[in-house]
Amino acid sequence: MKAWIVSDRKRKSRIYAVVFAETVGKVLRYTHLRLKEWIELDFTGLRVTRCKALDEYYRGEPEMDWFNMDDREAMIKHVGISF
């Protein structure tokens, strides 16, 4: 599985999730369905960037979990994410 960083197209510093999927389309579909519960965000407002450094952290879950310490350390180390 490939790791993708999903962020806000207008505010590049705002990162919503690290999602694992084979294609960008699958990432956008998953993220839109998941995030619409919390925020009003237009599907076209999402930006997806490939992050090869996080590929090795795929363990069968569709996204990385900030509350899992191993995932959190990986996100901070490789991407600099700090929600």
Q: What is the pTM of this model?
A: 0.83
- Identify whether 6 is part of a domain: yes
Q: Note the Cα 46 to chain centre separation in Å.
A: 10
Q: Residue 83 pLDDT more than 60?
A: no
Domain extent at residue 11: 2-78
- Domains: count for the chain: 1
Within 13 A of 8's CA, how many CA atoms are on the CB side? 11
- Would residue 28 be called left, alpha or beta, if left means φ above 0 and alpha means ψ between -120 and 50 degrees? alpha
- Identify whether 83 is part of a domain: no
Q: How confident is the model at residue 44 (pLDDT cuts 50, 70, 90)?
A: confident
Average pLDDT, the chain: 85
